[in-house]
Amino acid sequence: MRGLSFVLLLLIALLPSLYAQTKLSVRIKGLKKSKAYLGAYEKGKPILLDSTKVDTVNGAFSFERFQTLPRGMYFFDLKDQVGFQFLLNGELDARFTTQVKSIVDSMTIDGSKENEIFFYHLRYTVRKGREIDELQFKIDMLSRASRDPQALRPFYTQQQQISQSVAKFTRDMIAQNKGSLFSDYFGARQVIQPPARIPSSVNNQYNPAYLQYIRDHYWDEYPFADAAMLRSPFYPEKLTFYFQQVAVQQIDSISKGLDRLLAKAAINTEAYHYTLSWLITHFENFKRPGHDVIFVHLADRYCMSAKSIGVDTAVQMRIRYKADVMRKNLSGKIIQDLEVKDSALLAFKLKGLAPSKYTLLYFYHPLCTHCQEVSPKLYQALSAYNEDALKVMAVTFEPDVDLWKSFYKKNMPKWKNGIIQDKNSKLIDDYAVYNLPTIYLLDKDKRILGRFMEPESLLDWLGQLLK
């Protein structure tokens, strides 16, 4: 009996947690929408969890979940009208009241200290953002009337001072609210600051050791073990900032950086799998020269099995296959020679072209919609360079010679145009021509400087090389 009584007492004690539910109540004065949606972030991406009807007389709606929603960032989506984000950190009954024309400024909160902190910070940053926008308007107006940069300097200085005040305000709030989800999220978003012994400048000159410290220690304090980090949009933003703005854009530096990152993320399997998936997606799009080499590095070192990357076998095999195909013509290697036929159906080779500082190898197809859009624009943009600086060889895999001739004569008549009359040629694999157009940029020795899937990235790179 004594044992049974203990079990009953334990069950009674646990009942509140077993049946705990989250209730979210919202009232937005002036809201005319008939339906509201509750959303969350799953691995950085917004997803919808539920929907409910809105009392359009009072602008009120509510959601009740039979389980406590996990720690994370959520949002109310009102489609054509403004919604808002909020935080949940174990709240069981949170109430939001505001006005449709001033969601942030008019927000009052009951039952959630977490959101009182979050919206207090948000109101300050929104207000300061408006001040920056007002200064920018003045800068734009003044720059039309005057070309004197000194006249604009005070406004830029004010903008910088406001940005610094926002940064300090955020740091202070993080320190004052330790243990809150707000502090965890916004603390994780901060860029690590080098110690005082490494100043940002020396003798009024930029100190390279300052940024190098940030690169080396960027992920040191990131809380990978906290599952809530993947329930917000902040982690992918931090990844993007690191690989686009912080990391040196060189193959070895990026490879070492992502190795350090994955080693730290391995403390949490979910964080590790998401990080690896993000890296694979980011580098297989070849937005910058050398990204193909980094993609192959990822495939070889981290994608040896489906289980190791948290995907099904088909996805893992696709990654491995793509990496194997790309090895034949990676950035940094001399490209394999390519033989095609000209308009008279006489053979010529890539390495037989007249010398030039750079060569562009452009794979396309006349019936490819994207190629039809890109080709004439790229032709026009590249016409600014003479053939001593840049030569272009355009190639298609197509048995219909008339179709090919009609397309290139209309869209890029002065390029060195070639055809391979076999849609299933093994050269498609050799040059990894799976997304059209596929573009290789080569140096004077036909060494691959980079491969590109986006012409905009190519033009930016060429602009730096040939300025």
Residues 141 and 233 in one domain: no
H helices of 383-452, where?
Answer: 401-411, 427-430
What domain range includes position 401? 339-465
- Say what percent of the chain tops pLDDT 90: 66
pLDDT in tens, 74-87: 999 988 767 899 99
pLDDT for 13 equals 46
pLDDT for 261 equals 96
pLDDT for 29 equals 93
pLDDT for 20 equals 55
Looking at every residue in the chain, the average pLDDT score rounds to 89
pLDDT for 4 equals 47
Q: Is the pLDDT of residue 1 over 50?
A: no
pLDDT for 10 equals 44
pLDDT for 152 equals 87
Question: Band of the pLDDT at 18, cuts 50, 70, 90?
Answer: very low
Cβ atoms 207, 201 nearer than 8 A: yes
59-68, 264-273, 292-301: range with lowest mean pLDDT: 59-68
Residues 68 and 179 in one domain: no
Average pLDDT value for residue range 128-136 = 94
Total number of domains in the chain? 4
Average pLDDT value for residue range 104-131 = 96
Question: Does 354 map to a domain?
Answer: yes
Which of 140-149, 203-212, 267-276 has the largest mean confidence? Answer: 267-276
Average pLDDT value for residue range 392-411 = 95
112-116, 136-140, 206-210, 453-457: range with lowest mean pLDDT: 453-457
End-to-end CA distance of the chain: 89
Question: Does 8 map to a domain?
Answer: no
Cβ atoms 95, 111 nearer than 8 A: yes
Question: What CATH number does the domain containing 41 carry?
Answer: 2.60.40.1120
3-state DSSP: the chain helix, strand, coil percent, rounded to 5? 45, 20, 30
Average pLDDT value for residue range 352-356 = 91
Residue 21 host element (H or E): none
Q: Quickly list DSSP for 330-387.
A: -TTSBPPP-EEE-TTS-EEEGGGSPP-SEEEEEEE-TT-HHHHHHHHHHHHHHTTS-T
Q: What is the largest CA-CA distance in the chain?
A: 100
Between CA 465 and CA 38 the distance in angstroms is: 49
Question: Does 4 map to a domain?
Answer: no
Q: Is the pLDDT of residue 12 over 60?
A: no
pLDDT for 123 equals 96
Residues 270 and 383 in one domain: no
Residues 325 and 251 in one domain: yes
Residue 193 host element (H or E): none
* 81 or 191, which is more confident: 191
Residues 92 and 170 in one domain: no
Q: Of the residues 306, 329, 352, which one is the last residue of a structural domain?
A: 329
pLDDT in tens, 302-321: 998 888 888 888 888 989 98
Beta bridge partners of 341: 347, 419
Question: Does 11 map to a domain?
Answer: no
Question: Does 262 map to a domain?
Answer: yes
Give, in order, the Cα–Cα distances in Å from 410 to each of 156, 379, 458, 462: 48, 11, 22, 24
pLDDT for 467 equals 77
Residues 239 and 284 in one domain: yes
- Would you give the distance in Å from CA 403 to the centre of its chain? 39
Cβ atoms 271, 423 nearer than 8 A: no
Question: Does 5 map to a domain?
Answer: no
* 262 or 139, which is more confident: 262
Q: Of the residues 311, 329, 347, which one is the last residue of a structural domain?
A: 329
Question: What CATH number does the domain containing 431 carry?
Answer: 3.40.30.10
* 25 or 311, which is more confident: 25
Question: Does 6 map to a domain?
Answer: no
Residues 229 and 319 in one domain: yes
Average pLDDT value for residue range 139-151 = 82
Residues 374 and 457 in one domain: yes
Q: Of the residues 137, 164, 186, which one is the last residue of a structural domain?
A: 186
Residues 315 and 210 in one domain: yes
Question: Does 171 map to a domain?
Answer: yes
* 107 or 204, which is more confident: 107
Residues 107 and 205 in one domain: no
pLDDT for 453 equals 67
Torsion, Cα 366 371 376 379, to 10 degrees, reads -100
Average pLDDT value for residue range 225-233 = 95
Residues 344 and 278 in one domain: no
Cβ atoms 368, 383 nearer than 8 A: no
Q: Is the pLDDT of residue 333 over 70?
A: yes
Average pLDDT value for residue range 34-46 = 93
pLDDT in tens, 337-351: 999 999 999 999 999
Residues 101 and 128 in one domain: no
